Structure 1
């Protein structure tokens, strides 16, 4: 299971990195074209925006693993360990339900936008809207794989909380 989780995290990281690298390349290409050759591509701004949104959604689960999401820990820090664990399990359940609902609503949003076209590229709006269900599904998978470590090893200074997977 740990090997599968390690592979999943690596693939997710590579996907986010590749998406951001693609954004960099097309924006750089457009800047060179505009200032070097006096021409630019109309589709670059729209495509870069959609890819950045995709990378933000796809990277949210990784941010959870690494302790980079905003957290208010005052209450759990003041509670005895047993009650702090209960509160953290409740947080996991709320996050799971919220992201599962977002996945479902995201699919509805994709269906709604599929018959409309984007301005510059002319692709169905449902394609960029796929960022929502894709990112939320990845978040749910990360949460399921990471929940026990989040609840029991909450200390952000511990390697487990930052998402490191030990063999």
Structure 2
């Protein structure tokens, strides 16, 4: 389907952007540590106050973009044991309900982010002097991308007839199956 392909390509770009933001953040923090501790030990008085602020803003963007990418991969932290222990029909209902709660949550985050971005038009960063709308808009953009990815995952499940109970990671599936078997074994031992 065209939407699924488009979103997957968009996610590759978002992954690169999040990776770039993390790499740049790491470099900026390295500069800050180098100037503060290495140059300070050498008696060179230097200051780079912009590094802490820029690193924080890069981290905010990386988190919101990364969360959106993780939503498409269905790779976020989740407690799958309950869904696997109950009958498959109940597990599917629970999983679909979880998706709906996630969508409602991110719709709320989107609107809260829009309100914050409006405040950002009148504020400037203390050191970098950039409008805070560039920072605050990360929340709305990240939430919108997460909504898009969650809806795309649901469409992908429906169109490609995937099982909503399947997790994307075989290692996790094996761990869940082992935990279920242990649970059933222990339950039988307790009953005897």
For normalisation by structure 2, the TM-score amounts to 0.72
Q: Rg bigger for which structure?
A: 2
Compared CA separation, residues 29 and 50, structure 1 to 2 (3 A): same
Aligned equivalent of 2:167, options 155, 160, 166: 155
Equivalent position to 1:15, from 17, 37, 41: 17
Measure the CA separation in 2 of the matches of 1:151 and 1:113. 43
Q: CA RMSD, aligned part only?
A: 2.4
Q: Which one scores higher on RCO, CA 8 angstroms, separation ≥ 6?
A: 1
Task: Count residues with an aligned counterpart.
Answer: 160
The answer on 1:45 being equivalent to 2:47 is: no
1:5 pairs with 2:12: no
2:71 corresponds to 1:64: yes
Within a 5 Å distance, the mapping from 1:1-167 to structure 2 comes to: 1=2, 2-34=4-36, 35-36=38-39, 38-147=45-154, 148-149=156-157, 152-158=164-170
Higher mean Cα deviation, 113-122 or 146-155?
Answer: 146-155
What is the TM-score normalised by the length of structure 1? 0.82
Residue segments in structure 2 that go unaligned for 5+ positions in a row: 174-192
Structure 1: which 5+ runs fail to align?
162-167
Higher-helix-fraction structure: 2
